[in-house]
Amino acid sequence: MGETSTERLLALLVFAGGFIARFIHAKAYFLNPDEALHYLLASHNTTALTWEATQTTAHPPLYIFVLNWWHFLLPSHPGQSELLLRLPSVLAGTAASWFTYLWLRKVTTDQTPLLGLILAALAPSLIELSAEIRQYGLLLFFISACLYLAEKALQQNSSRLMALFSLSLYGALLTHYSALLFAFSIGVYVLLRFWPCLYSGGRPTGLFLTWAAGQVVALAIVAYLLLTHVPRLRQMGMAQGIAETWLRKSIYHPSENNLLLFPAQQTLRVFTYIFSHGFLGAVALLVFLGGIIWLLRQKVSQFDTSPMPHSTPRQLALLIALPFVANCAVAIAGLYPYGGTRHNVYLAPFGLAGVAIGIAAWKPRPIWIRTIVLLFCLAFCNWFPAPPPMIRARNHQRALMDHAVAFLSQSAPPGSILFADYQSGLLLGYYLCGHRVVEEFGPLDPYFRAECGPYTVISTQPQEWKFYSTDLPRQLAGAASIFSLAPGTKLWLFDAGWITDSAPPLRKELPHYGCPAPYDFGENILICELTVGGDTSRQP
């Protein structure tokens, strides 16, 4: 299919807009606790320690090693380099939108590729995730590269391109466990494309043998991860703990969910997450379903006049829909979440492709109206997300963290003890101390003590991720007992991160420990001077 110079110019402008949006996001906000944790895991000076650190996280190791290699290029003071730390994700996430565009040019017609690029470049969740120190920008890069390289290899009968597809697949599998579902889906699709040749009894081609060899290596990678890393995570109780807490709604529970309604409810949550908006996410889901129906109704001659090995509309419909079906099936089995969570962002290229196909099937006059409507909807989703992010933009500005750290440095005299939960300790280590001040490797003690310049930091273990009002008396008493802190000892509480839900009741507890009016820096950073033994009657 051809491409005019105007279409290419528009595509380049959209691509640049996607990069700028990610760049601004990466520059404007202080690290969230998960980002600080990823930096902690990647900040070791040896490969052996970095490898050991990757074994404590719920993801395969590739991204941590990429970040480890990258962070040695940064300025010596890490608290000034969020943008540079996020840059690999920004570049990978932006490139993913371009690969999605190139893939859609191979398998669709009309204006679908440009519409798909607009969606991939400007969808709110993709901007956010690919502007953070997380695996998802790299994951989307590898997945979109796989889609493009597999299609181009099949159409050009190129073993070299198929080998590159396999390398991209390995990258995805070594980046995030959701890539297992992607590997299954793309494997079924490619095998279906090869089926006419195999069914006819013809000799396997070099292209098929290259693909098959790549699949064997991919299976070996999967087996290694499932036999070594996953059992360790289960032994740590990480998978069960996550499934029973903040991902509980994305796992099927027979006593709580209706089996017939679960797929529809969770698929709606996927689109709500991708578009960061409930109503427009629901509209996008309807358009996606319309795109699938449109594909199923097309004849090959209407869709693509080229001879095979080009994909048929039904094959493309299968490729787009299968990841959703597979993910829903494993969620019902209790093996992997499916719903409004970043763990399902690998579905975005497929979901957005279906939405683009559905929009392209709409033929208004003038035709450019649909592009304007799409851009308006995406702008609305980005500016007015509903539900809002866990840290709202106004509370996430880097200046707030700068002011909080400056206040703490000026107010807490040398020799002071800083008291933090695990997520707050991660941020303290990055912004104030310049090194880790939380415990990383097991066996974990209830509390960890570390030096931070003129201060001492006492932090809780990872299971005590954030402070709750009901736990604060026990946590203070425990720290005082372990580190022999006499009644009347002053502690500076630093509470930051995802605290919006826990901060209001915590404030009611603070006056009992000598802090009637904590210092706030937005709604997600709180500093307060506490007194050990402020109210002994409340301590167990």
Given a contact cutoff of 8 angstroms between Cβ atoms, the answer to whether 274 and 352 are in contact is: yes
Confidence of residue 64 (pLDDT cuts 50, 70, 90): very high
User: How far is it, in rounded angstroms, from Cα 309 to Cα 93?
Assistant: 29
Average pLDDT, the chain: 90
CB count in 10 Å sphere of residue 96: 28
Q: Which residue has the higher pLDDT, 214 or 487?
A: 214
Lowest mean pLDDT among 219-223, 336-340, 354-358, 442-446: 442-446
- pLDDT for 444: 80
- pLDDT tens-digit profile of 242-295? 666 668 889 999 988 999 999 999 999 999 999 999 999 999 999 999 999 999
Closest CA to 96 of 133, 155, 135, 137: 137
Looking at the predicted structure, is the pLDDT value of residue 372 above 50? yes
Give the containing element (helix H, strand E) for 149.
Answer: helix 136-156
Give the containing element (helix H, strand E) for 526.
Answer: strand 525-531
The 3-state secondary structure of 176-224, one letter per residue? CCCHHHHHHHHHHHHHHHHHHHHHCCCCCCHHHHHHHHHHHHHHHHHHH
CB count in 10 Å sphere of residue 2: 5
User: How far is it, in rounded angstroms, from Cα 53 to Cα 5?
Assistant: 49
CB count in 10 Å sphere of residue 445: 11
Looking at the predicted structure, is the pLDDT value of residue 539 above 60? no
Looking at the predicted structure, is the pLDDT value of residue 390 above 60? yes
Looking at the predicted structure, is the pLDDT value of residue 436 above 80? yes
Confidence of residue 540 (pLDDT cuts 50, 70, 90): very low
User: How far is it, in rounded angstroms, from Cα 21 to Cα 32?
Assistant: 18
The amino acid sitting at 404 is: A
User: How far is it, in rounded angstroms, from Cα 92 to Cα 23?
Assistant: 12
Looking at the predicted structure, is the pLDDT value of residue 308 above 50? no
Given a contact cutoff of 8 angstroms between Cβ atoms, the answer to whether 310 and 108 are in contact is: no
> Helix (H, G, I), strand (E, B), or coil: what is residue 493?
strand
Given a contact cutoff of 8 angstroms between Cβ atoms, the answer to whether 322 and 181 are in contact is: no
Mean predicted confidence (pLDDT) in 366-370: 90
- pLDDT for 353: 98
Looking at the predicted structure, is the pLDDT value of residue 302 above 50? no
Given a contact cutoff of 8 angstroms between Cβ atoms, the answer to whether 85 and 75 are in contact is: no
- pLDDT for 71: 81
- pLDDT tens-digit profile of 394-415? 999 999 999 999 999 999 999 9
The residues, ordered by sequence, that sit 6+ positions from 203 with a Cβ below 8 Å of its Cβ are none
- How far from 269 is each of 112, 262, 344, 462, CA to CA, in Å? 24, 10, 10, 28
- pLDDT for 184: 97
User: How far is it, in rounded angstroms, from Cα 197 to Cα 202?
Assistant: 6
Residue spans of the domains in the chain: they are 5-383, 396-538
Closest CA to 167 of 142, 186, 138: 142
Give the containing element (helix H, strand E) for 460.
Answer: strand 455-460
- pLDDT for 364: 87
Looking at the predicted structure, is the pLDDT value of residue 301 above 60? no
Q: Does domain 396-538 have CATH number 1.25.40?
A: no
